[in-house]
Amino acid sequence: MNKFDRRVFLTGTAGAAGLVMLGGLAVPARAAGPLTVGVLIPGSKSDKGWMESGYDGLQAAEKKLGAKITVKYIENVKFGDMEQVLVALAGKNELVIGVGGQTQASVFKVAPRFPKVKFAIIGGNADPKKPDNVSGYDVRQAEIGFVAGAAAAMLSKNGAVSYVGGLEIPAIKNTGKEFGNGARYVNPKIKYIENYTGDFDDVAKAKEATLAAISQGADVHYHILNLGLRGMEQAAREKGTHVIGSYTDRCGTDPLYVAYSITGVGFQVEYAIEQVVAGTWKPEFKPFGLAMGPKSSDMVICKGTPEQKAKLEEIKKDLLSGKIKVLDA
């Protein structure tokens, strides 16, 4: 797997785009050989969250498919640079993946210029304006957020839990709402504190929001953050509270974490690559979530009692059957 240096990459994209575009036409159909994959990771691949999960999926695909694919990725891409980076990736790859819903607007702008290139958005939303060569995969964060809220309520000793989100966009706000609903489903009297930092990567603001929640009694915290998670960790360590991790089961690696939600970001990266390799890729919007199995979505309490585990299984079954209804995003 090759990593691009962001500064060098951006200074060279204008020329690269000129080489592969002529009169609005995209690169020609692929020759025989490995599938070339370009991946845009907006944040850090070591954020203990969404981005790291996506990167883990990329590594898993490489290990599984071997010489069938070649992968290049670039991380820490600001929103204003995404379109330029996507143009360069599309000029040199047959499949381009945006790891995060924040890449969707830029993908929608770039994809029509490269009609023979396939694009996949991890965390994409259904949109009638989706170009014909784009697929979007929805992790259903609100669904597993409900289960995480239930787990938090089971684990809280103070009867108070909190959630910190980054940007106040629908998917993040809906997850916060359903986290609160899940907590109240288990304990109708629980206190729920919800905050947003306006930035997935702002460590100081995430710490401030978590400390504010702790001052109101919260002792179990959930999040949709990237590098900002480090601020939540700092606050929880200082005050002796605990965190529910997101995206990947890492139970046993850090006592600060009492549970993990699994939202299959990496699983979706693998899925996109495997579909193209197999020749079964479709330009579709596909919801994942609990219905796609535990690699797609699940909830794990690290030292859960049999009663806690049974309750979580019951809740997941009720979500799948429609007995419990949650927001789609």
What mean pLDDT value characterizes the chain?
Answer: 90
* Residue found by looking up tokens 């590594």 in the block: 59
The percentage of residues in the chain with a pLDDT greater than 70, rounded to a whole number, is 91
**Is 139 or 192 the better-scoring residue by pLDDT?**
192
pLDDT at 22 over 50: no
What does the pLDDT read at residue 178?
98
Tell me how far CA of residue 87 lies from CA of 42, 102, 108, 112, in angstroms: 15, 16, 11, 11
How many CB atoms neighbour CB 159 within 10 A? Answer: 14
- For the chain, first and last CA: distance in Å? 32
- What was the pLDDT predicted at 248? 84
CATH architecture of 141-262+297-321: 3-Layer(aba) Sandwich (3.40)
- Residue 305 pLDDT exceeds 90: yes
List, for residues 190-231, the tens digit of each pLDDT value. Answer: 999 999 999 998 999 999 999 999 999 999 999 999 889 999
CATH 3.30.1240.10 fits 2-138+266-292, yes or no: no
Q: Greater confidence, 276 or 249?
A: 276
Annotated domain spans of the chain: 2-138+266-292, 141-262+297-321
Question: For residues 198-211, b (16+ Cβ closer than 10 Å) or e, as one string?
Answer: ebbbbbebbbbbbb
Given a contact cutoff of 8 angstroms between Cβ atoms, the answer to whether 297 and 264 are in contact is yes
pLDDT of residue 31: 56
- Given a cut of 80, whether residue 70 has pLDDT beyond it is yes
* pLDDT given at position 25: 35
pLDDT tens per residue, range 254-298? 999 999 999 889 999 999 999 999 999 999 999 899 999 999 999
* Residue 146 and residue 319 in contact, taking contact as beta carbons nearer than 8 Å: yes
In 3D space, the residue among 201, 197, 235 whose CA is nearest the CA of residue 218 turns out to be 235
Cα(140)–Cα(197) distance, integer angstroms: 21
What are the DSSP calls for 26-89, one per residue?
-PPPPPSSPEEEEEEESS-TTSSSHHHHHHHHHHHHHHHHGGGEEEEEEE---GGGHHHHHHHH
Going by pLDDT thresholds of 50, 70 and 90, the confidence category of residue 3 is confident
Q: Which of 11-20, 96-105, 159-168, 269-278 has the least mean pLDDT?
A: 11-20
Percent pLDDT > 90 in the chain is 79
Q: What is the mean pLDDT of residues 58-66?
A: 96
E strands, 142-247, are 160-165, 191-196, 220-224, 242-245
Question: Can 2-138+266-292 and 141-262+297-321 be said to share one CATH topology?
Answer: yes
